[in-house]
């Protein structure tokens, strides 16, 4: 790295914006009000990082995100100074402190809205004779996850749908023939308004808009499988989650974007609730595009096929350890 590189990121949990500049082995990071300096030493395979003594936790994480993000081959970075908050977050005590890539992307403050919060108490309730944990309440328009994707040079964001803001584009997407084939929601605008409103009031599932650089490009429905229609078809665990999605903006179709999006949604789901061990999916068994994709994203596996009342489905599974253990980010 011989020239200045800029890497912009926002800590989703604290709303701090960071800009990282790097010229050779010397760098600077600023959050707009404070500046810190850092230094890299070592070889391509063994980097040692030092920084100003008073650097904040989120500032240290933003530097590590920039270094790992700009250097996909780097698997670890050693720290020359102690940073008690970061060490506690990583659960490390032995010196020198070495941050492994597989560990770093499991840290929560930079990317998810609740990243500075601990695990909430597990309370249970019953819905239609199904016992399950009480689910967190989402707020209309709330940002859930965001991350700068260096390979795309875009900020990817998931936010809860805002009916007033999103209804028109949601209506347009569902009237595309390729979307209609799988979603069958080519309804009048007012019916789709009711559909989104119902989703916002449903504790087991909620509507999410996907954005690239604040431009809406797709739609997700995130759900808890225990109390979902999927729950009875396999041995659902308390915090298993699933999702349905569509890419509405045809300009971003293609493997590179879709791959980044699907890896980001897995990242979000595993970070947002640390007790989630598995993500499930149930596409139509004849959806050859999805099943072909599993050959490239091997954290996912096909468990079986089964019959829903409305379709023949393939049951897919992504385990936490398979996702984080294979450097998909």
Kindly state whether residues 135 and 84 are assigned to the same domain.
no
Domain assignment present for 115? no
Kindly state whether residues 91 and 150 are assigned to the same domain.
no
90: left (phi over 0), alpha (psi -120 to 50) or beta: alpha
Kindly state whether residues 96 and 207 are assigned to the same domain.
no
pLDDT at residue 8 is higher than 60: yes
Q: List the structure tokens of 123.
A: 């309370």
Domain assignment present for 187? yes
Q: For the chain, what is the domain count?
A: 2
pLDDT: which is higher, 166 or 25: 166
Residue 3: pLDDT band (50, 70, 90) is: low
Mean pLDDT of all residues in the chain?
94
Check which CATH number belongs to the domain holding 244 and give it. Answer: 3.40.630.30
Q: DSSP H helical segments within the chain, as ranges?
A: 57-70, 84-90, 101-104, 163-174, 177-183, 189-201, 255-272, 288-293, 320-324
- Per the annotation, the verdict on 282 as an active-site residue is yes
Alpha-carbon distances, residue 237 vs 37, 199, 225, 240, 279 (angstroms): 45, 22, 8, 5, 10
Kindly state whether residues 128 and 182 are assigned to the same domain.
yes
Kindly state whether residues 11 and 50 are assigned to the same domain.
yes
Domain assignment present for 23? yes
Domain assignment present for 16? yes
Q: What is the pLDDT of residue 1?
A: 45
32: left (phi over 0), alpha (psi -120 to 50) or beta: left
Kindly state whether residues 210 and 139 are assigned to the same domain.
yes
Alpha-carbon distances, residue 67 vs 55, 125, 130, 230, 327 (angstroms): 16, 44, 45, 40, 15
Domain assignment present for 114? no
Kindly state whether residues 98 and 168 are assigned to the same domain.
no
Domain final residue, candidates 71, 104, 137: 104
Domain assignment present for 75? yes
Kindly state whether residues 93 and 234 are assigned to the same domain.
no
CA–CA distance, 242 with 225 (Å, rounded to integer) = 6
Radius of gyration of the chain (CA): 21
pLDDT at residue 306 is higher than 80: yes
Kindly state whether residues 78 and 160 are assigned to the same domain.
no
The pLDDT of 182-189, averaged and rounded, is 94
Domain final residue, candidates 104, 132, 164: 104
pLDDT in tens, 125-144: 999 899 999 999 999 999 99
Domain final residue, candidates 73, 104, 135: 104
The pLDDT of 106-122, averaged and rounded, is 94
Domain assignment present for 116? no
Kindly state whether residues 181 and 222 are assigned to the same domain.
yes
pLDDT in tens, 269-296: 999 999 999 999 999 898 888 888 888 9
CA–CA distance, 143 with 88 (Å, rounded to integer) = 26
Q: Which residue has the tokens 């800590």?
A: 11
Residue 44: pLDDT band (50, 70, 90) is: low
**Going by C-beta distance under 8 Å and a sequence separation of 6 or more, which residues neighbour residue 39?**
25, 26, 27, 49, 50, 51
Kindly state whether residues 177 and 218 are assigned to the same domain.
yes
Contact at 8 Å (CB) between 49 and 80? Answer: yes
Kindly state whether residues 149 and 205 are assigned to the same domain.
yes
Contact at 8 Å (CB) between 22 and 71? Answer: no
Phi and psi, residue 227, nearest 5°: -105, 10
Q: What is the pLDDT of residue 2?
A: 52
In percent, the amount of the chain with pLDDT more than 90 equals 85
Domain assignment present for 44? yes
Domain hosting 30: range is 5-104
Strand pairing category for 46-51 and 35-43: antiparallel
pLDDT in tens, 13-40: 999 999 999 998 899 999 999 999 999 9
Active-site hit among 65, 272, 273, 282: 282
């Amino acid at each position: 790295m011989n020239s200045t590189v800029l890497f912009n990121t926002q800590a989703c949990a604290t709303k701090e914006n960071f800009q990282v500049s790097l010229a050779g082995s010397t760098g600077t990071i600023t959050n707009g009000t404070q500046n810190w300096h850092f230094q890299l030493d070592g070889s391509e395979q063994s980097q040692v990082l030092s920084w100003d003594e008073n650097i904040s936790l989120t500032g240290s994480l933003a530097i590590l995100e920039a270094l790992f993000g700009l250097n996909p081959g780097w698997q670890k970075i050693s720290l020359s100074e102690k940073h008690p908050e970061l060490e506690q977050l990583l659960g490390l005590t032995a010196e020198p402190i070495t941050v492994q890539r597989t560990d770093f992307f499991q840290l929560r403050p930079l990317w998810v809205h609740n990243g500075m919060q601990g695990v909430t108490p597990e309370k249970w309730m019953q819905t239609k004779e199904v016992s399950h944990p009480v689910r967190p309440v989402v707020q209309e328009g709330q940002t859930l996850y965001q991350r700068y994707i260096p390979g795309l040079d875009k900020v990817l964001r998931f936010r809860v749908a805002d009916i007033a803001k999103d209804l028109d584009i949601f209506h347009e997407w569902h009237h595309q023939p390729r979307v209609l084939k799988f979603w069958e929601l080519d309804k009048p605008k007012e019916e789709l308004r009711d559909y989104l409103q119902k989703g916002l009031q449903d504790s087991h599932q909620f509507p999410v808009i996907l954005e690239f650089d604040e431009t809406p490009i797709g739609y997700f429905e995130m759900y808890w499988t225990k109390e979902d229609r999927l729950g009875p078809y396999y041995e659902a665990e308390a915090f298993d989650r699933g999702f349905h999605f569509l890419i509405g903006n045809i300009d971003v179709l293609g493997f590179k974007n879709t791959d980044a999006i699907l890896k980001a949604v897995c990242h979000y789901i595993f970070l947002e609730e640390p007790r989630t061990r598995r993500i499930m999916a149930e596409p139509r068994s004849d959806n050859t595009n999805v099943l072909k994709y599993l050959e490239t994203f091997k954290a996912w596996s096909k468990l079986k096929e089964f019959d829903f009342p409305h379709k023949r489905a393939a049951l897919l599974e992504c385990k936490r350890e398979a996702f984080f253990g294979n450097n998909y980010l």
